[in-house]
Amino acid sequence: MFDSENTYKTLTSRELTHEQKLMGLAKCAENGLDVLHIPPKTKHYFETGAINDLFEGGAPYRPRYILPDYERFVQQGSEFLKLDPPKTLDELLFSLIILYRHVPSITNFPVFLGSLDKLLDPFLDGHTDEEICEKLRLFLIYLDRTITDSFCHANLGPEETRAGRLLLKVEQELQNAVPNLTIKYDPAVTPNSFMEQAIQCSLRCSNPAICNDPANSVPFGKHYGVASCYNILPICGGAYTLTRVTLTELVKEAKSTEHFLNTLLPECLGLIADYMNERIRFIVEQSGFFESNFLVREGLISKDRFLPMFGVTGMAECVNTLLKDQGKIYGRDREADDLAQKIMDRIQELVNGYEAAYTPVTNGKFLLHAQVGLDSDFGITSGVRIAIGDEPESFADHLRHCARFHRYFPAGVGDIFPIADNVRQNPAALLDVVKGACSIGVQYLSFYSASTDLVRITGYLVKRSEMEKYRKHQAVLQNTTQLGSANYQTNHLEKRKVRMV
């Protein structure tokens, strides 16, 4: 149903840029359509907040996340965009920024820019480091100022390259929120010196995050990308949709732990699977996206490499509610963590039993994803993270807890750790932490120095200085600043436990 009040509010806002208003008005129009069959019980769980489709809209007309095969684009150019295969570094950068403008997603911006170091490295011969850095500086500034949403992601590694080192050098100077960077780390492949440079960069500007490459290669082999926040998805494909179960809200209807495990979870998760299949069928059968988009025609994406992501969030509050009478706390007490594992085993069992429509890339299965949260989440801890204030005293214990639960989420899971400022002087020590974490099964982690301006909110990056402007009712360039500002204040992210090494 058309929401005239929200439309007018968007239209007359003093805090949104013209582009942000345009996208908001488009969402109002989309939500005015009623094309999906949603049963009454599913609507009930939407109303309670136990189910959330993360603003995907009432009429899906493109997949949520798209990961084009940029390497193929570089090899063949684009007939639709009238671009020949690039022959020089300038032509490459020029061609990429044109293509990025035409890659859609749930945010209306590209959520994946490719493995930039691998795309760039073959074009660097004949240029000095100084020349390359100047070109990269302009390229990265352009991305930050035109892709005004920090759910945009680019990858580096696991191999060391000249391009990778220079990208880290320039990123550390610029400290931009876009693109969000991840370095794929494989201790058998990635040199220590390259990782130490990445860690040093991360401590100064929260970029890049670190992906355990061997662990995250399991679902799709090496042909995967890290997109949006920390979504592990197949290149040349992506995610049709992402709907989450908010355990924090679902548990409020539980009469007991057994009722929660054996009645509420099966009912709610089954409805989520049906709802995502409804969205997938509309995208594939009715939207016309895969018949009309040039990315499909030119082989940069394929319908057969898309999948639905089954999101989970709010584990901490769920467990704490079920064990309230015992006073046991998730992340601190063995009984609480054991119950959380029992819940995840049940979720995994149920989700693996559902059939996902049009999803040959996973043999017709949904993949679990630890969803990071929303600006409207009040008292809901992202994914399977430990609630702020309940973190164990020991950094090692915290990482062991991460490893215990990361293994359930092939479509992405991650944890964030503020690090004491003095660690900047010894990145090798933090690299040892990374090696140990990866060896026990931590799949994705990110660091930032406790005093840096650029901070990770749930998985994306926002500057504290920009959040302050927004709180003073000033328009800001990136719409993720608006999301981050509410989340940072509501969930007291400034109180994350600062880790010493």
> What pLDDT, in 10s, does the model give residues 173-194?
999 989 999 999 999 999 999 9
In a domain, 24, yes or no: yes
Residue type, position 63, single letter: P
Q: What is the pLDDT of residue 479?
A: 67
Residue 490's pLDDT is: 67
State residue 211's pLDDT score. Answer: 98
Q: Is residue 343 helix, strand or coil?
A: helix
Helix (H, G, I), strand (E, B) or coil at 312: strand
Q: Is-contact 147 179, C-beta < 8 A?
A: yes
Sign of CA dihedral 495, 453, 204, 167: positive
CA distance 141 to 175: 10
pLDDT-derived band at 389, boundaries 50, 70, 90: very high
pLDDT > 70: percent of the chain:
97
- Average pLDDT on 353-382 reads 93
Is residue 212, in this structure, part of any structural domain at all?
no
Residue 187: predicted pLDDT: 97
For residue 227, the number of C-alpha atoms closer than 13 Å in the C-beta half-sphere is 30
**pLDDT computed for residue 495 by the predictor:** 77
**How confident is the model at residue 74, as a pLDDT?**
98
The answer, as to whether pTM is greater than 0.75, is yes
Q: Which residue has the tokens 């040199």?
A: 191
Answer whether residue 403 shows pLDDT above 80.
Answer: yes
| pLDDT band at residue 469 under the 50/70/90 scheme | confident
pLDDT tops 90 at residue 73:
yes
Q: Where residue 2 falls among pLDDT bands split at 50, 70, 90?
A: low
Q: What is the pLDDT at residue 471?
A: 81
With beta carbons less than 8 A apart as the criterion, state whether 241 and 63 touch: yes
Residue 431 lies in a domain: no
- Residue pLDDT, tens place only, 107-146: 899 999 999 999 999 999 999 999 999 999 999 999 999 9
Q: Report pLDDT for 491.
A: 65
Compute the distance between CA of residue 65 and CA of residue 113 in angstroms, rounded to an integer. Answer: 12
What is the mean pLDDT of the segment spanning 379-386?
95
Give the lowest-confidence range in 38-52, 208-222, 449-463.
449-463
**Which residues form the domain of 2?**
1-32
pLDDT at 220 over 70: yes
What's the confidence (pLDDT) of residue 489? 67
For residues 54 and 143, give the distance between their C-alpha atoms in angstroms, rounded to a whole number. 25
Q: Which of these, 28, 13, 152, lies nearest to 475 by C-alpha position?
A: 13
Mean pLDDT of the chain, nearest integer? 93
* pLDDT band with cut points at 50, 70 and 90 for residue 453: confident
What confidence score (pLDDT) does residue 17 get?
83
Evaluate if residue 488 carries a pLDDT over 90.
no
Residue 22 lies in a domain: yes
Q: What is the pLDDT of residue 359?
A: 98
- The pLDDT score that the predictor gives to residue 148 is 85
Q: How confident is the model at residue 464 (pLDDT cuts 50, 70, 90)?
A: confident
Could you give the CA distance from residue 280 to residue 37 in angstroms, rounded to a whole number? 12
In this predicted structure, the answer to whether residue 346 has a pLDDT above a threshold of 70 is yes
Q: Is the pLDDT of residue 376 over 80?
A: no
CA dihedral 340, 221, 147, 282 (to 10 degrees): -80
Give the pLDDT confidence score for residue 287 in this predicted structure. Answer: 96
Residue 430 to residue 447: CA distance in whole angstroms: 10
Confidence of residue 79 (pLDDT cuts 50, 70, 90): very high
Residue 427: burial class (beta carbons within 10 Å; 0-12, 13-18, 19+): buried
pLDDT at 377: 82
**Closest among 181, 187, 179 to 212, alpha carbons compared:** 187
| Cβ count within 10 A of residue 429 | 13
Question: How far is it, in rounded angstroms, from Cα 65 to Cα 73?
Answer: 18
Strand ranges, E, within 186-264: 209-212, 224-227, 231-234, 237-246
| Amino acid 33: pLDDT | 84
Residues 117-155: b if buried by 16+ CB within 10 A, e if exposed: bbbbbebbeebeeeebbebbeebbeebbeebbbbbbbbb
Instruction: For residue 423, name the pLDDT band (cuts at 50, 70, 90).
Output: confident
Q: What is the pLDDT of residue 203?
A: 92
φ, ψ for residue 101, nearest 5 deg: -60, -20
Average pLDDT over residues 303-323: 98
Residue 441, pLDDT above cutoff 80: yes
- What pLDDT does residue 465 have? 80
Q: How far, in Å, are 10, 428, 439, 493 from residue 449 at the CA level? A: 36, 15, 24, 14
428 pLDDT above the threshold of 80: yes
For residue 188, CA distances in Å to 83, 161, 192, 356 come to 38, 15, 10, 35
Residues 6+ apart with CB under 8 A from 120: 89, 92, 136, 163, 167
Q: How high is the pLDDT of residue 19?
A: 82
Q: Is residue 71 part of a domain?
A: no
What's the pLDDT at 476?
Answer: 76
- The confidence score (pLDDT) of residue 458 equals 72
Residue in this structure with the two tokens 């299965």, named with its chain if needed: 365
455 has pLDDT over 80: no
Alpha-carbon distance values, 235 to 53, 71, 189 (Å):
23, 10, 21
- Section 342-366 average pLDDT: 98
Nearest to 417 by CA among 399, 440, 401: 399
Please give the tally of structural domains in the chain: 1
For residue 154, pLDDT over 90 is answered with yes
Under the banding of pLDDT at 50, 70 and 90, the label for residue 324 is very high
